[in-house]
Chain A
Amino acid sequence: MNIRTIGLVIGREYNTRVRKKSFLVLTFVVPILFAALCFLPSIIMLNMKEQTKEVAVVDQSGIVMPYLENGEAANYYDYSSYDPDSLKNRLEAIGKDILVVVSPIDSASNVSVQTFSKKPAGVDFSENLASRVSRAVEDYRIKSYDIEGLDQIMNDVKARTQVKEYSLGKDGKETVSESGIYMIISMVLGMLIYMFIAMFSGMVMSSVIEEKSSRVVEVLVSSVKSIDLMFGKIIGVALVALTQFALWILLTAMIVGIGGVAFGPKLLQGMQGDNAAQMSEMAISGTGLHMEDAVAMMEDGDLKTVLTTLGNIPWGQLIIAFFIYFLLGYLLYASLFAAVGSAVENEADSNQLQLPVTIPLLIGFFIALMAMRNPYNPVVWWGSMIPFTSPIVMLARIPYGVPFWELALSIALLAVTFAVCAWASAKIYRAGILIFGKKSTWKDLWKWLKQK
């Protein structure tokens, strides 16, 4: 080990990568995306408020109109005494956006609804309208049975079950929890660490291939030991990754901060009261996207549960674990990718050879997806212990809480595996970088590994 030359290798790797356009673009685009994600819900709500629709209603059934209450989304006007056909043409003249025609009640105690408008009325509007009309029809039918107190009975019969989850802490204290939140955080963490490991260890591989294909590697190893060159490269790219993370966090915080100061009051207004309730109602009955977590977030504006759950997540442990698992996972895969890179002369040839390295990474990703729904599955447990998948799977498990000994064991296994793989990769790398002019296979890599 020669610290001076490793330092030079690290410096070159770092400087050339940080000055690349792709690095700069990624550094600035990602925080903007993150910030946009933070602001998006408020912005959507704000825009909704402005679009109050003016609706003319021709209620031929005589039962629907009372159910159409004016709200933020629409103002309803009773035009029941007019002829629908003539209204269609005068819609603009009377200053209305939409014409709703409710048919007379038919023999099956049903009504049909038609809407006419210049611009499409929108899914939210029609879903909302449909649910209101349905309620009107339901109430009409209940009344038509003429049983006293039936509406009360029907109301009582309607079940609206809500599962409130409590996590039992070590001290037996109950805390409110929301599995939707856990799922989202688990999914985001699993995906992020998978992406970062794949991206940055892939960077190491292309760097190795670049030096080999440009033949500069033979000059380099006449000055630097090949093992120093390989680790200098891996460390250099790791520093690039850490720089990128730091910049992402800093820039996102800056954008959110500036955005918060500039638009804060306005955005908060958008979040207020009935708007939020209306929005949640729409989200539930609305788009048909019945993701539990969406419901969990929105239902009855149960913001308190969400906040409590977020408060219960071990953030400190999470952040430390993220860095440890990213670094170790990256080191493990980067050394494997370096060995693969040393065996090929151009990026195109690498596809086949890197498959055995990519597959465990992918398996880890899929187990992480499983962990998100079912964190106590044995496959997930083993996946969080086996070093090739553990960085990704364990991260997906952590929001649900992981005993310390499991974390320690998993990290120790990962570190040992890294040491073994790094040693093997260094041997393969040393031989591989000097082999030119033939397509290497895994058999060759095995041969190089055994070479003295």
Chain B
Amino acid sequence: MALIECKEVSKSFGPKIALDRVSLDFQEGKVTGLLGPNGAGKTTLIRIINRITIPSGGEVFFKGRPIRQEDVEKIGYMPEERGLYRKMKVGEQAMYLAQLKGMSRQDAVKELKQWFIRFGIQDWWNKKVEELSKGMAQKLQFITTVVHKPSLMILDEPFSGFDPVNADIVRKEILRLRDDGATIILSTHDMGSVEELCNDIALIDKSRLVITGDVQEIRHKYGNDNIEVEYTDEDGRHTEVLPREIAGNNTLKSFIDRGITVNSYRELMPRMHDIFISLVTGKEEEQQ
């Protein structure tokens, strides 16, 4: 079921069109990668879902009905440009943002303390934000995004600024939250994490939706349907890429008949990176 449905959503700033009739669903309990080059209109779409920006046309539905202002309490948003009050204490800051999302004081304290312990920053409660390292501030930002248990999380480049260890912690948290039923919109340029985390993708380019759907299906669709076979014969180890028609069962059988050891046999899937580039530049990249 779709948690968020965008129907013909448009936005123009004066003569400039930022979004052009984008219709798009975000499925409940799934991670959807929102992709697109810089300036494509991703941030505008995210802000419209967040009700920060009012669309010029079209409508956004939340759980099947038009989205309302109260629904923002069910959304957690981590913008690409991170921001916290520099002069405020870490604990107060987190409390303020959590309460703005509708949490009571007591709940906010309880939940925040747990998150602080989980991220190993419980000693920072009374420090000022400006004393935090960049990584620490990022952790705090992530916590304030998720502490109110939102049913929709919008994460814009969530891994930027994290070292590999902390990026891994955040990655695990995202998956855990998804398993708990949260819907996640992940806007990123890091195609590796798209392949790893996303169930669905939506690609926006030049204000329009180019493609949306299941990651595996899309990769399949944009593949050349080639099979990579790795085998060992008397000359040694070989790797060969063959079209599916050729690399059928018969070929495999003939390999085995000839006493050749087949080490691996797999369908060659295009990387998201290549699909992205080919869709955005409009040119098919040479498949190896």
Q: Contact at B100–A5, with CB atoms within 8 Å?
A: yes
Say yes or no: is B86 at the interface (Cβ < 8 Å to chain A): yes
Q: Contact at B52–A215, with CB atoms within 8 Å?
A: no
| Residues of chain A lying within 8 A (CB to CB) of residue B100 | 5, 8-9, 220, 223-224
Q: With the chains together, A275 CA to B185 CA distance in Å?
A: 83
| Residues of chain B lying within 8 A (CB to CB) of residue A217 | 83
Q: With the chains together, A12 CA to B88 CA distance in Å?
A: 10
B:84-104 near A, CB below 8 Å: 84-88, 96-97, 99-102
Most buried by A among B100, B101, B144: B100
Q: Contact at B96–A218, with CB atoms within 8 Å?
A: no
Interface string of B42-61 (1 = CB under 8 A from A): 00000100111110100000
Q: Contact at B101–A214, with CB atoms within 8 Å?
A: no
Interface string of A352-380 (1 = CB under 8 A from B): 00000000000000000000000000000
Which residue of B14, B83, B87 is within 8 Å of A218 (Cβ)?
B83
Say yes or no: is A222 at the interface (Cβ < 8 Å to chain B): yes
Q: Contact at B79–A218, with CB atoms within 8 Å?
A: yes
Q: Contact at B87–A16, with CB atoms within 8 Å?
A: yes
Number of A-B pairs, beta carbon distance below 8 Å: 66
* A: contact size bracket: 20 to 34
Name A's interface SS: helix
Q: With the chains together, A436 CA to B96 CA distance in Å?
A: 25
Q: Contact at A219–B86, with CB atoms within 8 Å?
A: no
Say yes or no: is B273 at the interface (Cβ < 8 Å to chain A): no
A:205-253 near B, CB below 8 Å: 210-211, 214-226
Say yes or no: A8-B96 contact (C-beta < 8 A), given A222-B50, A222-B72: yes
Say yes or no: is A22 at the interface (Cβ < 8 Å to chain B): no
Say yes or no: is A155 at the interface (Cβ < 8 Å to chain B): no
Q: Contact at A222–B77, with CB atoms within 8 Å?
A: yes
Q: Contact at B83–A222, with CB atoms within 8 Å?
A: no
Q: With the chains together, A218 CA to B86 CA distance in Å?
A: 15
User: Which residue in chain B gives the minimum CB-CB distance to A214?
Assistant: B83
| Residues of chain A lying within 8 A (CB to CB) of residue B69 | 2, 225
Interface string of B118-153 (1 = CB under 8 A from A): 000000000000000000000001001000000000
Interface string of B240-281 (1 = CB under 8 A from A): 000000000000000000000000000000000000000000
Say yes or no: is B81 at the interface (Cβ < 8 Å to chain A): yes
Say yes or no: is A40 at the interface (Cβ < 8 Å to chain B): no
| Residues of chain B lying within 8 A (CB to CB) of residue A439 | none
Q: Contact at B144–A219, with CB atoms within 8 Å?
A: yes
Say yes or no: is A170 at the interface (Cβ < 8 Å to chain B): no
| Residues of chain B lying within 8 A (CB to CB) of residue A12 | 96
Q: With the chains together, A370 CA to B34 CA distance in Å?
A: 63
9 A-B pairs with CB atoms under 8 Å apart are A2-B69, A8-B96, A9-B100, A215-B79, A218-B81, A219-B77, A220-B100, A223-B100, A452-B56
- Interface residues of chain B, those whose CB is within 8 Å of chain A, are 13-14, 47, 50-54, 56, 69, 72-73, 75, 77-79, 81-88, 96-97, 99-102, 141, 144
In the complex, given contacts A218-B81, A222-B52, what are 11 additional A-B residue pairs having Cβ atoms less than 8 angstroms apart?
A12-B96, A214-B83, A216-B83, A218-B83, A219-B83, A221-B50, A221-B52, A222-B77, A223-B72, A434-B47, A447-B14
